Amino acid sequence: MTRLHTVLIGGLTTLLVTGCMNSEKAGNNNQQSGCLPLEVNSTVPTTTKPPVIRMAKIEGNCLHAEVIYSACEEIEWQLYWDQKMRKSYPAQVSLFLVTKDSSRCGTQHVVDLYYDLRTFSETAFGDQVWINLKGYDYRIKWQAKKEN
């Protein structure tokens, strides 16, 4: 097995374990979706290592982002929304992918991250939002998916 495969398998295992642990803390909503919670905070922490977001798309009610970063070991990422919106139809929001890790190693990691976006359906935005994910060049349109 190549080093890249080992890193990918380790990253996915960590993501699944972390996702399950975070889902339990976040309550029933996230247990159903399997996605990590979106952090809602008017103050977004600054990141020491901005990610390279290779791909981002909507899957159900989750934002799926493929992130490339360099660090000594795998690190945890948080997705923040600063509670601001630009008036348009649909509304526009900015999301920030942040880590507190400050290590400076050259080991490259690739990880798939999934975040629950149903927070937006609980706001006055309605059931759709344009997302500007900082570090990604394209807007992403999210529309609430009804769950069975």
Question: What are the tens digits of pLDDT across the range 85-120?
Answer: 888 888 899 999 988 776 767 788 899 999 999 888
Give the residue, 57 or 12, on which the prediction is more confident. 57
Average pLDDT over residues 112-134: 84
Considering the entire predicted model, what is its pTM? 0.71
Instruction: Give the total number of structural domains in the chain.
Output: 1
User: SS3 for 147?
Assistant: coil
Residue 91 is assigned to a structural domain of this protein: yes
Residue 37 pLDDT: 93
> What gap in Å lies between CA 63 and CA 95, rounded to an integer?
11
Residue 129 is assigned to a structural domain of this protein: yes
Nearest to 35 by CA among 100, 96, 117, 144: 117
Contact 129, 91 (CB under 8 A): yes
Residue 96 pLDDT: 93
Q: What are phi and psi of 26, to 5 degrees?
A: -80, -15
Contact 64, 143 (CB under 8 A): no
CATH number at residue 36: 2.60.40
Residue 20 is assigned to a structural domain of this protein: yes
Query: What one-letter code names the amino acid at 48?
Result: T
Residue 118 is assigned to a structural domain of this protein: yes
Range of the domain at 20: 3-143
Nearest to 77 by CA among 42, 121, 118, 36: 36
Residue 108 is assigned to a structural domain of this protein: yes
Residue 115 pLDDT: 95
Give the residue, 147 or 71, on which the prediction is more confident. 71
| Residue 7 clears pLDDT 80, i.e. is over it | no
> What gap in Å lies between CA 89 and CA 23, rounded to an integer?
31
Residue 7 is assigned to a structural domain of this protein: yes
- What is the number of alpha carbons within 13 Å of residue 25 lying toward its C-beta? 10
| Residue 22 clears pLDDT 80, i.e. is over it | no
Average pLDDT over residues 25-52: 68
User: SS3 for 21?
Assistant: helix
| Residue 38 clears pLDDT 50, i.e. is over it | yes
| Residue 3 clears pLDDT 80, i.e. is over it | no
Give the residue, 61 or 28, on which the prediction is more confident. 61
Residue 122 is assigned to a structural domain of this protein: yes
Residue 148 is assigned to a structural domain of this protein: no
